[in-house]
Amino acid sequence: QVQLVQSGAEVKKPGASVKVSCKASGYIFTGYYIHWVRQAPGQGLEWMGWINPNSGGTNYAQKFQGRVTMTRDTSISTAYMELSRVTSDDTAVYYCARDLVYSTSSPFDYWGQGTLVTVSS
Amino acid sequence: EIVLTQSPGTLSLSPGERATLSCRASQSVSSTYLAWYQQKPGQAPRLLIHGASSRATGIPDRFSGSGSGTDFTLTISRLEPEDFAVYYCQQYGSSPITFGQGTRLEIK
Protein backbone atom coordinates (compact mmCIF):
# COMPACT_ATOMS: atom_id res chain seq x y z
CA GLN A 1 0.00 0.00 0.00
CA VAL A 2 1.10 3.55 -0.66
CA GLN A 3 2.73 5.23 2.31
CA LEU A 4 4.52 8.51 2.89
CA VAL A 5 6.40 8.51 6.19
CA GLN A 6 7.85 11.79 7.40
CA SER A 7 10.64 12.53 9.82
CA GLY A 8 9.98 13.52 13.39
CA ALA A 9 9.19 16.79 15.07
CA GLU A 10 11.80 19.55 15.08
CA VAL A 11 12.48 22.51 17.32
CA LYS A 12 14.57 25.28 15.77
CA LYS A 13 15.82 28.69 16.81
CA PRO A 14 15.00 31.72 14.68
CA GLY A 15 17.40 32.05 11.77
CA ALA A 16 18.17 28.34 11.58
CA SER A 17 17.30 25.90 8.81
CA VAL A 18 15.08 22.84 9.04
CA LYS A 19 15.03 19.81 6.76
CA VAL A 20 12.07 17.44 6.68
CA SER A 21 12.13 14.08 4.92
CA CYS A 22 9.33 12.09 3.30
CA LYS A 23 9.99 8.42 2.56
CA ALA A 24 7.71 6.87 -0.03
CA SER A 25 6.80 3.21 -0.34
CA GLY A 26 4.25 1.05 -2.13
CA TYR A 27 4.59 2.71 -5.53
CA ILE A 28 7.17 3.82 -8.08
CA PHE A 29 8.68 6.92 -6.47
CA THR A 30 9.63 8.56 -9.77
CA GLY A 31 6.13 8.17 -11.15
CA TYR A 32 4.39 10.92 -9.15
CA TYR A 33 5.12 14.48 -8.12
CA ILE A 34 5.61 15.21 -4.43
CA HIS A 35 4.15 18.41 -2.99
CA TRP A 36 4.79 20.13 0.32
CA VAL A 37 1.94 21.78 2.21
CA ARG A 38 2.07 23.43 5.61
CA GLN A 39 -0.51 24.24 8.24
CA ALA A 40 0.10 26.75 11.02
CA PRO A 41 -1.59 26.00 14.35
CA GLY A 42 -5.36 26.39 13.99
CA GLN A 43 -4.99 27.67 10.43
CA GLY A 44 -5.63 26.44 6.91
CA LEU A 45 -3.50 24.71 4.32
CA GLU A 46 -0.72 26.48 2.44
CA TRP A 47 0.99 25.01 -0.61
CA MET A 48 4.77 25.45 -0.70
CA GLY A 49 5.78 23.78 -3.94
CA TRP A 50 6.45 20.53 -5.73
CA ILE A 51 9.32 18.37 -6.86
CA ASN A 52 9.33 16.00 -9.79
CA PRO A 53 11.16 12.97 -8.38
CA ASN A 54 11.97 11.78 -11.89
CA SER A 55 13.81 14.87 -13.11
CA GLY A 56 14.47 16.70 -9.86
CA GLY A 57 12.67 19.72 -11.29
CA THR A 58 10.94 21.99 -8.80
CA ASN A 59 8.29 24.69 -8.63
CA TYR A 60 8.10 26.83 -5.51
CA ALA A 61 5.39 29.18 -4.36
CA GLN A 62 6.65 32.73 -4.72
CA LYS A 63 6.26 33.30 -0.98
CA PHE A 64 8.98 30.74 -0.28
CA GLN A 65 11.32 31.46 -3.19
CA GLY A 66 14.86 31.88 -1.94
CA ARG A 67 14.13 30.14 1.36
CA VAL A 68 12.90 26.68 0.37
CA THR A 69 14.77 23.88 -1.35
CA MET A 70 13.13 20.62 -2.38
CA THR A 71 15.31 17.68 -3.28
CA ARG A 72 15.03 13.94 -3.61
CA ASP A 73 17.12 10.79 -3.37
CA THR A 74 15.68 8.24 -5.76
CA SER A 75 17.91 5.47 -4.37
CA ILE A 76 15.95 5.53 -1.12
CA SER A 77 12.62 6.90 -2.47
CA THR A 78 12.80 9.94 -0.25
CA ALA A 79 11.92 13.57 -0.81
CA TYR A 80 13.22 16.44 1.29
CA MET A 81 12.09 19.95 2.05
CA GLU A 82 14.55 22.39 3.57
CA LEU A 83 13.44 25.79 4.82
CA SER A 84 16.06 28.34 5.78
CA ARG A 85 16.07 31.46 7.94
CA VAL A 86 13.04 30.31 9.88
CA THR A 87 11.00 32.61 12.09
CA SER A 88 8.14 32.03 14.49
CA ASP A 89 5.77 32.43 11.53
CA ASP A 90 7.16 29.17 10.17
CA THR A 91 5.88 27.19 13.14
CA ALA A 92 3.54 24.70 11.52
CA VAL A 93 2.86 21.10 10.62
CA TYR A 94 4.55 20.33 7.31
CA TYR A 95 3.03 17.67 5.08
CA CYS A 96 4.31 15.93 1.99
CA ALA A 97 1.65 14.72 -0.42
CA ARG A 98 1.60 12.72 -3.63
CA ASP A 99 -0.11 13.58 -6.87
CA LEU A 100 -3.10 11.49 -7.91
CA VAL A 101 -1.62 11.32 -11.39
CA TYR A 102 1.79 12.25 -12.81
CA SER A 103 1.06 15.84 -13.70
CA THR A 104 1.70 19.36 -12.55
CA SER A 105 -2.10 19.71 -12.39
CA SER A 106 -3.30 16.99 -10.08
CA PRO A 107 -4.89 16.80 -6.64
CA PHE A 108 -3.16 15.01 -3.79
CA ASP A 109 -4.33 11.51 -2.98
CA TYR A 110 -1.79 10.37 -0.37
CA TRP A 111 -0.36 12.45 2.45
CA GLY A 112 2.36 11.98 4.99
CA GLN A 113 1.51 12.05 8.67
CA GLY A 114 2.89 15.55 9.07
CA THR A 115 5.97 16.92 10.81
CA LEU A 116 5.59 19.59 13.47
CA VAL A 117 8.25 22.27 13.19
CA THR A 118 8.40 24.66 16.11
CA VAL A 119 10.49 27.82 15.90
CA SER A 120 11.27 29.27 19.27
CA SER A 121 14.13 31.12 20.90
CA GLU B 1 -3.06 33.85 -7.71
CA ILE B 2 -6.54 32.36 -7.51
CA VAL B 3 -8.16 33.12 -4.16
CA LEU B 4 -10.74 30.62 -2.94
CA THR B 5 -13.36 31.80 -0.46
CA GLN B 6 -15.37 29.18 1.40
CA SER B 7 -18.69 29.71 3.10
CA PRO B 8 -19.99 29.43 5.66
CA GLY B 9 -17.04 29.50 8.03
CA THR B 10 -18.87 27.17 10.39
CA LEU B 11 -21.90 25.01 9.69
CA SER B 12 -23.86 23.48 12.56
CA LEU B 13 -26.04 20.52 11.61
CA SER B 14 -27.33 17.27 13.03
CA PRO B 15 -26.61 13.73 11.85
CA GLY B 16 -28.96 12.77 9.06
CA GLU B 17 -29.22 16.32 7.73
CA ARG B 18 -27.93 17.58 4.40
CA ALA B 19 -24.82 19.77 4.28
CA THR B 20 -24.04 22.23 1.52
CA LEU B 21 -20.61 23.86 1.46
CA SER B 22 -19.60 26.58 -0.96
CA CYS B 23 -16.30 27.53 -2.58
CA ARG B 24 -16.02 30.66 -4.69
CA ALA B 25 -12.95 31.48 -6.80
CA SER B 26 -11.59 34.94 -7.58
CA GLN B 27 -11.24 33.91 -11.22
CA SER B 28 -12.50 31.05 -13.32
CA VAL B 29 -11.21 27.59 -12.45
CA SER B 30 -11.42 24.87 -15.00
CA SER B 31 -13.74 22.36 -13.41
CA THR B 32 -11.13 19.74 -14.11
CA TYR B 33 -8.94 21.31 -11.46
CA LEU B 34 -11.10 21.75 -8.35
CA ALA B 35 -10.85 19.36 -5.39
CA TRP B 36 -12.35 18.97 -1.93
CA TYR B 37 -10.59 17.58 1.15
CA GLN B 38 -11.74 16.55 4.61
CA GLN B 39 -9.52 17.04 7.62
CA LYS B 40 -10.10 15.74 11.13
CA PRO B 41 -8.14 16.93 14.18
CA GLY B 42 -4.60 15.62 14.26
CA GLN B 43 -4.89 14.02 10.84
CA ALA B 44 -3.71 14.82 7.36
CA PRO B 45 -6.31 15.96 4.83
CA ARG B 46 -8.15 13.29 2.84
CA LEU B 47 -9.08 13.73 -0.80
CA LEU B 48 -12.84 13.50 -1.29
CA ILE B 49 -13.59 15.00 -4.71
CA HIS B 50 -11.44 15.92 -7.72
CA GLY B 51 -12.32 17.36 -11.08
CA ALA B 52 -15.14 19.19 -9.27
CA SER B 53 -17.41 16.13 -9.23
CA SER B 54 -15.43 12.88 -9.27
CA ARG B 55 -15.30 10.98 -6.01
CA ALA B 56 -11.90 9.74 -4.96
CA THR B 57 -11.35 6.05 -4.36
CA GLY B 58 -13.28 4.73 -1.37
CA ILE B 59 -15.33 7.88 -0.78
CA PRO B 60 -19.00 7.15 0.04
CA ASP B 61 -21.61 8.28 -2.45
CA ARG B 62 -23.24 10.60 0.09
CA PHE B 63 -20.43 13.01 -0.87
CA SER B 64 -20.94 14.83 -4.15
CA GLY B 65 -19.38 17.83 -5.84
CA SER B 66 -20.73 20.21 -8.42
CA GLY B 67 -20.14 23.58 -9.99
CA SER B 68 -18.10 25.31 -12.65
CA GLY B 69 -16.33 28.58 -13.39
CA THR B 70 -16.09 30.38 -10.08
CA ASP B 71 -18.74 28.64 -7.97
CA PHE B 72 -18.40 25.14 -6.60
CA THR B 73 -20.34 23.13 -4.04
CA LEU B 74 -19.70 20.10 -1.87
CA THR B 75 -22.85 18.33 -0.73
CA ILE B 76 -23.11 15.66 1.93
CA SER B 77 -26.53 14.14 1.46
CA ARG B 78 -27.07 12.63 4.91
CA LEU B 79 -24.54 13.42 7.58
CA GLU B 80 -22.94 10.59 9.47
CA PRO B 81 -21.20 11.19 12.83
CA GLU B 82 -17.79 10.71 11.20
CA ASP B 83 -18.45 13.54 8.70
CA PHE B 84 -18.03 16.31 11.25
CA ALA B 85 -14.68 17.82 10.34
CA VAL B 86 -13.11 20.72 8.45
CA TYR B 87 -13.48 20.81 4.66
CA TYR B 88 -11.16 22.58 2.23
CA CYS B 89 -11.50 23.28 -1.46
CA GLN B 90 -8.37 23.44 -3.62
CA GLN B 91 -7.60 24.57 -7.12
CA TYR B 92 -4.68 22.81 -8.74
CA GLY B 93 -4.85 24.06 -12.31
CA SER B 94 -2.69 27.13 -11.97
CA SER B 95 0.36 27.95 -9.94
CA PRO B 96 0.39 28.66 -7.08
CA ILE B 97 -1.94 25.89 -6.01
CA THR B 98 -4.33 27.43 -3.51
CA PHE B 99 -6.75 26.27 -0.83
CA GLY B 100 -9.83 27.88 0.63
CA GLN B 101 -9.72 28.85 4.29
CA GLY B 102 -11.96 25.93 5.25
CA THR B 103 -15.49 25.27 6.50
CA ARG B 104 -15.89 23.70 9.91
CA LEU B 105 -18.81 21.28 10.02
CA GLU B 106 -19.87 20.82 13.62
CA ILE B 107 -22.54 18.83 15.39
CA LYS B 108 -25.57 20.88 16.36
The DSSP output letter for B61 is T
Query: Mean pLDDT, to the nearest integer, of B70-81?
Result: 96
Across the interface, do B96 and A47 touch by the CB < 8 Å criterion?
yes
B36 within 8 A of B27, measured Cβ to Cβ: no
A82-115 pLDDT, tens digit per residue, is 999 999 999 999 999 999 887 778 899 999 999 9
pLDDT computed for residue A63 by the predictor: 96
Q: Is the pLDDT of residue A24 over 70?
A: yes
Which pLDDT score, from 0 to 100, does residue B7 have?
A: 95
Chain-chain contact of A107 with B92 (C-beta, under 8 angstroms) = yes
Record: contact A107-B35, CB cut-off 8 A: yes
Question: Is A105–B33 a contact, with Cβ atoms under 8 angstroms apart?
Answer: yes
> What residues of A are in contact with residue B40 (Cβ under 8 Å)?
none
Of A59, A63, A111, the CB nearest to B95: A59
In 3-state terms, what secondary structure has residue A114? coil
Tell me the pLDDT band of A71, cut-offs 50, 70 and 90: very high
Identity at A96, one-letter amino acid code: C
Mean pLDDT computed over every residue of chain B: 96
Q: Which residues of A touch B46 (CB under 8 A)?
A: 111
How close B58 comes to chain A (CA, Å)?
11
Closest by CA position to A117, among listed A50, A38, A48, A51: A38
Q: Is the pLDDT of residue B98 over 80?
A: yes
> How close B51 gets to chain A, by Cα (Å)?
9
Number of CB atoms found within 10 A of residue B13's CB: 17
B98:A47 CB<8 A: yes
CB B27 within 8 A of CB B34: no
Residue in B32, B56, B88 closest to A44 by CB: B88
pLDDT one-digit tens code per residue, B38-59: 999 999 999 999 999 999 999 9
- Chain centroid to CA B20: 9
Residue B31 has pLDDT above 80, yes or no: no
Lowest average pLDDT, out of A53-67, A100-114, B79-93, goes to A100-114
Beta-carbon contacts of A27 under 8 Å, excluding residues fewer than 6 positions away, are A2, A98
